[in-house]
Structure 1
Amino acid sequence: FAADVEFSSGIPLAATRGTKSGKTVAVVGAGPAGLTAAYHLARMGHAPTVFEALPEAGGMLQWG
């Protein structure tokens, strides 16, 4: 409910990216933890690359 109210308020929900650090980071696994890590690394200005062995992201949430 709170997310619906926030979304309907019309305020843009764009995440800002930090100043580019020039560093690249490999994130192994596209599960919830890997995707969250990549998101926060990008917000800090790093350039994450996510590697996943399976055809779709999601980890155990996707593949159980």
Structure 2
Amino acid sequence: MPTAPKRGSTVVTPLRVAVGLCLAAPYVAILWVGSYSAVDPRFIGIPFFYWYQMLWVLISTAL
């Protein structure tokens, strides 16, 4: 008969890995400034630098 994990120990499951990746993605995307430090392409006259960050606010909320 399998034994239950000891109290206080963490179990790594695929769901927890997926949640961790969803939580880490916005941090990586925003902290890697070199990937979005540009003016073009513009969206409704707004430089890429600004609308990329605002897009990640919405994506983070969805995640």
Range into which the TM-score falls when normalised by the shorter chain = under 0.3
TM-score w.r.t. length of structure 2: 0.24
Instruction: Point out the structure with max Rg over C-alpha.
Output: 2
* Structure with more helix by fraction: 2
* Structure with more strand by fraction: 1
TM-score w.r.t. length of structure 1: 0.24
